[in-house]
Structure 1
Amino acid sequence: MSTIQEEKPSFFSKCLNVIERLGNKLPHPFILFIYLAVFLMFISFVVSLFDVSVIHPTTDEEIVAKSLLSKEGVLFMLSSMLENFTGFAPFGLVIVMMFGIGLAQKVGFFETFMKTTIIRAPKSVITYAIIFTGVLGNIASDAAMIIIPPLAGMVYYAIGRHPIVGMAAAFAGVGVGFTANFIIAGTDALLSGITTEAAQGIIPDFVVTPVDNWFFMSASVVMLVVVGAFITDKIIEPRLGTFDPTYADPGVISEKVQEPTSKELKGLRNALIAGGLYVVLLASLIIPANGFLRSDEGTIIPSPFLDNIIPIILIFFIIVAVAYGKTAGTVKKSADVPILIGEAMKDMSGYIVLIFAAAQFISYFNWTNLSTISAISSSELLQDVNFTGMGLVVAFIFLVTIINLVISSGSAQWALMAPVFVPLFMLLDYNPAFTQLAYRIGDSVTNNISPVNPYVIMVLGFMKRYDSRFGFGSIISLMLPYTLIILAIWIVMFLAWNLIGIPIGPGNGVYLDQ
């Protein structure tokens, strides 16, 4: 343990302290968007005074800067406020998606699934099981952060391994792997909606769907599990050594892992059977050449299946949740279903409030034409200096990792960055879905070392129960190998994917013409 206790703050620790102070001085994301909207009003007024304009490279149309403080601008802000909110692409997608995911969480399906996967895994693959469960657990959002790290600590302690090592593996899976999954999740819907809003400033009818990063993010799950387990077993565990209970809370030492009850296990079994039958039904409508969910031309890409992926996933989770709840006893009557969905929606209240402010800012930014003007001007500058290839995309990933250290909300960060970078990369011929994918890599890897991430402090609290000497510098130094190594491998994987030319999602490549 002495290897991670610092007598004097290192240079890196001092940098993190500065980042923490800066992050803590930032206002709540809702207030931040309000400030940015006010700032945008002033900037648009100043820029319009100079009659700034550019020529759109694809339509040859003159794009002129407009002022939000003009009569036209003020009327736009007033008349568009409700439409900006209700018509914001991520809003409906995420709310509908959370009907199903939230219900599955409230009935206890996700908790039982996570517990069963970890507890019943053979000792030889326990690290892989913990990280795998952490990565897939992000579909349950905050619940994964709360359930998996302490559970992993107890499991590790029960099999005679250092409990903090188990928590580090779990936190790496949930945090660093936050945007990766085999299943289309709320994150996919949220990010694709914001990307669509930003992309339509260049191509009005352009749509980024929740499945547009599916292939790459599914492959990323495998990479994260293998690399994360290697880091845990070869770097983290040797560094921490043998667990010394001297500094542990006596209460945590006596805690036992609570295995799922027989009813919960039966519920999980029935849920998986019901979900499997639903998947078989879907397959029968997709695989045949004349399947209902194929296009009129008989294709799957595009097809009604992909166009309607959100309601299809919604139905899947409702079926799974009801099957589990009826068996486990968490759903006793039909009226319980809407009540539980309502409780899940209460957890979304913070997101709804944030979306209202973000939607206004993005709409104002697009209306002033400053988004398009800045994108066109920046793309011309980058082309002039010949900085337009994969080096630029990698630089963008690094920029995202830095910003993520001071803005803990991934949706808020993308709502800030997408209106600038999505149009910019589109003018350089990059698919918005590809830009979004680059963002997701940068946004994930620094989650576990961000001083403003509240879950860093929460997991630190779990770890301190096993070692009271553990401090903020301890958890950061513990998680840093995951960040650095996975970032490097993820970027290499990202570049190799592009070099080989594998689609990043159904029908989506790196460039706009793919």
Structure 2
Amino acid sequence: MTRTDTTELTLAEAPGLSGRMLRGVERIGNRLPHPFFLFLILAGLVAVASAVAAGLGASTIDPATGDVVPIRSILSSEGLVYAVSTAIENFITFPPFGLIITVMLGIGVAERTGLLSTFMRATVLSAPKWAVTYVVVFVSLMGNLASDTAVIILPPLAAAAFLAAGRHPLAGFIASYAAVIAGFSANVVPAGTDVLMSGITTSAAQIVDPGAEVSVLANYYFFASSTVILSITITLVCQRFLEPKLGTYVPPETKLLPGAPTPDSDPKPVSSKERRALLIAAVAIVAYLAVLVVLLLLPGSALQGEDGAILRSPFMSSIPIFILFMFLIGGITYGVIAGTLTSWAQVPTMMTDAVKELVPFIVVIFTAAQAIAWFSWSQIGLLLATGGADAMEATGLGGIGGLMIFSVFVFVPALLLTSGSALWTLLAPIFVPMFMLNGVDPAYVQAAFRITDSASNPLVPMNPLLPVVLGLMQKWAPKGGLGTLFSLVMPFTIAIWGVWLLQLLVWGLFELPVGPGHSLMMGG
């Protein structure tokens, strides 16, 4: 950058071909309606399409029974009665609704008592110099447990850790930011994202199979292993590419964006009291998990399924509840010991605050639930799925080859729609049934979507956290603007996406399970 003062740099001023591309994405994205209206429009399109198709006498074949299924019109008397009489039921029974709220109750307590932020600070700031990069990246990848909070907490901590190790702090900041936002799906602990995505996928899968269920752990093997794989990948990009490019660090005169938060010069160290609380909370969580494992493995356990099955059991269908208790136990234990929880009345208050943050999601869910329900009832979803499945079979693009193409296809819409869950709610009812009719497990389709949606996050121009991230970055790069941030993080995005696509290819070729009971082909 040659500009002498880039504190006001925006996409409109970003230079070069990349700047023009980003401005184009921004213009298109800004013209998209709010997701609430987006799903309302989709519902309207489904209604009109169903009326046209029904008027033309369109029908499809139910893959489960082989029966001919006629398309039903939402705009008919029957359809209008259905739409009005089931609206509330569609809303409150939409799978992601209850699941995500349940898990967020626990995560909200763990976050507000300080458990998550203390864990992140303790891990990053205490890392030995030789392992700083890997530890910073690994913890940042797990940052999705704290949702957007991780974007504010971890990159500044990483910069401080790099500076203490005699390295360029901007390298630590960017590596951590890339891990948090581009590696958002990777984690060794199931998070709210897993719950939300599995609920949406289950709704889509039930268009073909009403009894289908995609568990919270449907992608666990894939994304838990990718936490290690991406940690190595991001570490290598940081050390072999970014740090040599940045050169020797010379402390600048800091100039921040107007209204941006001022980062601390020295991140608050973890006190002995916090460290003790963190240790006791960890012991409490481990004890809880140990008790859970014992209860699950006891002969004749009520948590087991028929004939002692684990994969199809009350335990697997109740995973969100067990995650809720894990975060509650850890968060409350930490809060009591650390002194951040002084009254039991604070617990429901913390839960309430966590749910308040979900209000925008809940509002969108109302119209999304109607659109998906109409899609299913009218049989338009089944018609598109069977037609798409036939086309895939004719072209031979099913299986892992089709998944790879689908994952690449997701990239452009992922840049335009900032909400991954909103985008998946749009795409899942079409692509999940389509792949299912070709025998592909819906968990694999979900994984193919998540890797691209996650990897593209750093390049989304409408990300509401961008001004905050820019303000934090400008402590180390006062003349850096949006173009600086995008250019520094783009190599990480390319590397993360490429490695994830390669991992998906390997998983598919060897038909490895992406989660318990979910191989490439259904029933495999």
TM-score (norm. length: structure 2)? 0.93
Give the corresponding residue for 2:184: 178
The 1:56–1:454 alpha-carbon spacing in structure 2 relative to 1, beyond 3 Å, is same
Query: Is 1:23 the equivalent of 2:35?
Result: no
- Indicate the SS of the match to 1:255: coil
Deviation at 1:298, TM superposition (A): 2.7
Distance 1:421 1:253 in 2: 43
Give the corresponding residue for 1:281: 291
Deviation at 1:303, TM superposition (A): 3.1
Query: Is 1:188 the equivalent of 2:194?
Result: yes
Distance 1:510 1:326 in 2: 45
The 1:68–1:304 alpha-carbon spacing in structure 2 relative to 1, beyond 3 Å, is closer
Give the corresponding residue for 1:235: 241
Query: Is 1:465 the equivalent of 2:465?
Result: no
Deviation at 1:390, TM superposition (A): 2.3
Distance 2:367 2:235 in 1: 40
Query: Is 1:128 the equivalent of 2:138?
Result: no
Deviation at 1:110, TM superposition (A): 0.5
Deviation at 1:156, TM superposition (A): 2.4
Give the corresponding residue for 2:304: 294
> Which of 18, 22, 32 does residue 12 from structure 1 map onto?
18
Unaligned runs of 5+ in 2: none
C-alpha deviations, 1:361-414, integer Å up to 9, x for none?
Answer: 111111221111011111112222332242221110011122110111011010
- Shifted more, 397-406 versus 253-262: the winner is 253-262
Distance 1:449 1:66 in 2: 41
Contact preservation (8 Å) 1:136, 1:180: yes
Give the corresponding residue for 1:416: 426
C-alpha deviations, 1:162-193, integer Å up to 9, x for none?
Answer: 22211111111111111111111111111111
> Which of 342, 345, 356 does residue 355 from structure 2 map onto?
345
C-alpha deviations, 1:230-256, integer Å up to 9, x for none?
Answer: 111111111111223334249979711
The 1:23–1:197 alpha-carbon spacing in structure 2 relative to 1, beyond 3 Å, is same
Give the corresponding residue for 2:403: 393
Given residue 238 of structure 2, which amino acid in structure 1 is its aligned partner?
Answer: T
Kindly report which structure 2 residues correspond to 1:205-354, keeping only aligned pairs within 5 A, or say none: 205-249=211-255, 255-354=265-364
Contact preservation (8 Å) 1:286, 1:305: yes
Contact preservation (8 Å) 1:247, 1:469: no
Give the corresponding residue for 1:372: 382
Kindly report which structure 2 residues correspond to 1:62-141, keeping only aligned pairs within 5 A, or say none: 62-141=68-147
The 1:410–1:457 alpha-carbon spacing in structure 2 relative to 1, beyond 3 Å, is same
- Indicate the SS of the match to 1:382: helix
Given residue 189 of structure 1, which amino acid in structure 2 is its aligned partner?
Answer: V
Distance 1:368 1:306 in 2: 31
Unaligned runs of 5+ in 1: none
- Indicate the SS of the match to 1:190: helix
- Shifted more, 336-345 versus 434-443: the winner is 336-345
Query: Is 1:48 the equivalent of 2:58?
Result: no
Give the corresponding residue for 1:405: 415
Given residue 47 of structure 1, which amino acid in structure 2 is its aligned partner?
Answer: A
Given residue 72 of structure 1, which amino acid in structure 2 is its aligned partner?
Answer: E
Deviation at 1:306, TM superposition (A): 1.8
Given residue 151 of structure 1, which amino acid in structure 2 is its aligned partner?
Answer: L
Give the corresponding residue for 1:143: 149
- Indicate the SS of the match to 2:179: helix
Deviation at 1:292, TM superposition (A): 4.9
- Indicate the SS of the match to 2:416: coil
The 1:66–1:304 alpha-carbon spacing in structure 2 relative to 1, beyond 3 Å, is closer
> Which of 428, 435, 443 does residue 445 from structure 2 map onto?
435
Distance 2:435 2:325 in 1: 35
Given residue 22 of structure 1, which amino acid in structure 2 is its aligned partner?
Answer: I
- Indicate the SS of the match to 2:69: strand
Deviation at 1:291, TM superposition (A): 4.6
Give the corresponding residue for 1:479: 489
C-alpha deviations, 1:447-485, integer Å up to 9, x for none?
Answer: 011112223343222212322221222111111111111
Distance 1:356 1:319 in 2: 32
- Shifted more, 277-286 versus 316-325: the winner is 277-286
- Indicate the SS of the match to 1:66: coil
Distance 1:88 1:286 in 2: 28
Query: Is 1:165 the equivalent of 2:175?
Result: no
- Indicate the SS of the match to 1:184: coil
Given residue 354 of structure 2, which amino acid in structure 1 is its aligned partner?
Answer: A
- Indicate the SS of the match to 1:172: helix
Deviation at 1:8, TM superposition (A): 7.9
Distance 1:8 1:335 in 2: 50
Distance 1:295 1:45 in 2: 43
Deviation at 1:498, TM superposition (A): 2.0
Given residue 369 of structure 1, which amino acid in structure 2 is its aligned partner?
Answer: Q
Distance 2:118 2:59 in 1: 57
The 1:296–1:72 alpha-carbon spacing in structure 2 relative to 1, beyond 3 Å, is closer
Give the corresponding residue for 1:513: 523
Distance 2:263 2:469 in 1: 17
Give the corresponding residue for 1:59: 65
The 1:297–1:258 alpha-carbon spacing in structure 2 relative to 1, beyond 3 Å, is same
Deviation at 1:289, TM superposition (A): 4.6
The 1:12–1:254 alpha-carbon spacing in structure 2 relative to 1, beyond 3 Å, is closer
Contact preservation (8 Å) 2:141, 2:180: yes
The 1:323–1:21 alpha-carbon spacing in structure 2 relative to 1, beyond 3 Å, is same
Distance 1:137 1:209 in 2: 22
Contact preservation (8 Å) 1:284, 1:291: no
Give the corresponding residue for 1:203: 209
Given residue 314 of structure 1, which amino acid in structure 2 is its aligned partner?
Answer: L
Q: CA RMSD in A?
A: 2.2
Distance 1:366 1:448 in 2: 34
TM-score (norm. length: structure 1)? 0.95
The 1:78–1:497 alpha-carbon spacing in structure 2 relative to 1, beyond 3 Å, is same
- Indicate the SS of the match to 1:202: coil
Distance 1:497 1:435 in 2: 13
> Which of 435, 459, 477 does residue 449 from structure 1 map onto?
459
Contact preservation (8 Å) 1:252, 1:466: no
Distance 1:404 1:111 in 2: 29
Distance 1:181 1:233 in 2: 22
Distance 1:201 1:46 in 2: 20
Distance 1:141 1:12 in 2: 29
The 1:253–1:64 alpha-carbon spacing in structure 2 relative to 1, beyond 3 Å, is closer
Given residue 231 of structure 1, which amino acid in structure 2 is its aligned partner?
Answer: V
The 1:421–1:273 alpha-carbon spacing in structure 2 relative to 1, beyond 3 Å, is same
- Indicate the SS of the match to 1:506: coil
